[in-house]
Structure 1
């Protein structure tokens, strides 16, 4: 089976994939100092809990936006799974799509992989919204070419900035405000939840509206990332939710490269 690794700024996601089916997934906080041995102690135990063994992993693929984490993840693959990790965007896993922006090399690996997966799963002109450390909006055309996008602060970053800069504001959970849809808060916590939650919904809807107008053709909106399902009931902007889009993209890239175990 394939061990797919998505190393993001906040978490590293590990998934065991058979074909395109995700059999199990786990996540750990991103720490570039974490060694291959530390990853292995944690991951091998989780594999066993799910009923798998080290020997079930025959291939490893990874995408990372944290360059300092790459080496230890490569060592993990080599030392504990006997495989050379395939790196998304490098031979033999080239993107296979046109990256039509001013600086193609600056595009984050996760965003390129998401574009590959989204186009495979939802043909046509697309906007992919990824709710991560940053919230990214990525536009691809009906041929699968990446055309550009938007980077906005993630909702957790926005909340952290608000709390750290205002001494009297408490730390709150990110959740829909309990005001039956109203936006006049009657206490500090409600007012913060309204500002963070509905303010973020308004940003999503406003930016998607502007992106659609600029594309000028029918566009599907695909959402991914842990917070996508939080917003889904409160806005009609999403056409589909794909919570494992990056992992799916890595599996698709391996499949397209015809790499066998």
Structure 2
């Protein structure tokens, strides 16, 4: 099976992907560019065993990363412990194969390109892909599958951390929807929940409305990332939720590169 590795700024996701593209298992670890290949191997080997897999089940590795310093140790993991040379998303032979119709194509993050590839494969027409990661990104994909640009906004965790760090008397709160739809908070924590949660919903709804107006054609909105389902319960802007869009993109890219 393919081991697909999505290395983001906050977490790295490892997933076992079957030949047909089905995701058989996935694991998440905090991103630390100093973590060695040996450390990854010990952690991953234990998780493979817990899922009933031997290390030999991995026959190929592909890596997509927005953390350049993490790449080397992930490549060593592939070669030393799985006996394969990892493909790297965006580099030959695993080039994206899509048009990056922006001013600086080389600066487009691997996660965003992979999301575009997977979303276009699954849905037709113009698309807006919203990814809830360290940053919240909005990516515009035209009906031909070209990446046209988008928006980068602070992720909700970043916003919450900044609020806690900068205001001495405000407590640290968990990310969760308010208990009801009222926006007049009666306690400090309620007011923070309202500001963070409903403020974020308002931002998303406003930006998606502006994006659709600028596109000028009907566009589906696809959400991905860990918090997508949380917001889906409180807004009607999403047409579909795809939690594993980036991993799906890695699987598609591997199959294209090895066809």
TM-score bracket for this pair, using the shorter chain length: over 0.9
TM-score scaled by structure 2?
A: 0.99
Kindly indicate whether residue 69 of structure 2 is the aligned counterpart of residue 77 of structure 1: no
Q: Which runs of 5+ in 1 are unaligned?
A: none
Kindly indicate whether residue 199 of structure 2 is the aligned counterpart of residue 209 of structure 1: no
Following TM superposition, the consecutive aligned residue runs of length 4 or more in structure 1 with deviations greater than 6 angstroms are none
Alignment correspondent of 1:113: 114
- Whole-Å separation in 2 of the counterparts to 1:124 and 1:59: 32
- Whole-Å separation in 2 of the counterparts to 1:123 and 1:63: 24
Cα drift, residue 124 of structure 1: 1.1
Cα drift, residue 27 of structure 1: 0.5
Deviation sequence 1:11-44 (CA, Å, 0-9, x none): 0000000021000000000000000000000001
Cα drift, residue 258 of structure 1: 3.3
Alignment correspondent of 2:167: 166
Cα drift, residue 255 of structure 1: 1.5
- Whole-Å separation in 2 of the counterparts to 1:78 and 1:165: 44
Cα drift, residue 202 of structure 1: 0.2
Alignment correspondent of 1:16: 16
- Whole-Å separation in 1 of the counterparts to 2:181 and 2:58: 48
Q: Which runs of 5+ in 2 are unaligned?
A: none
Structure 1 residues 140-179: aligned runs within 5 Å: 140-178=141-179
Alignment correspondent of 1:219: 219
- Whole-Å separation in 2 of the counterparts to 1:96 and 1:123: 17
Cα drift, residue 212 of structure 1: 0.2
Deviation sequence 1:179-214 (CA, Å, 0-9, x none): x21100000000000000000000000000000000
Alignment correspondent of 2:247: 247
- Whole-Å separation in 2 of the counterparts to 1:45 and 1:208: 42
- Whole-Å separation in 2 of the counterparts to 1:124 and 1:251: 22
Structure 1 residues 13-162: aligned runs within 5 Å: 13-18=13-18, 19-162=20-163
Cα drift, residue 172 of structure 1: 0.3
Cα drift, residue 254 of structure 1: 1.3
- Whole-Å separation in 1 of the counterparts to 2:57 and 2:207: 44
Alignment correspondent of 1:192: 192
Cα drift, residue 177 of structure 1: 1.0
Deviation sequence 1:113-139 (CA, Å, 0-9, x none): 100000001121000000000000000
- Whole-Å separation in 2 of the counterparts to 1:222 and 1:79: 37
- Whole-Å separation in 1 of the counterparts to 2:46 and 2:164: 37
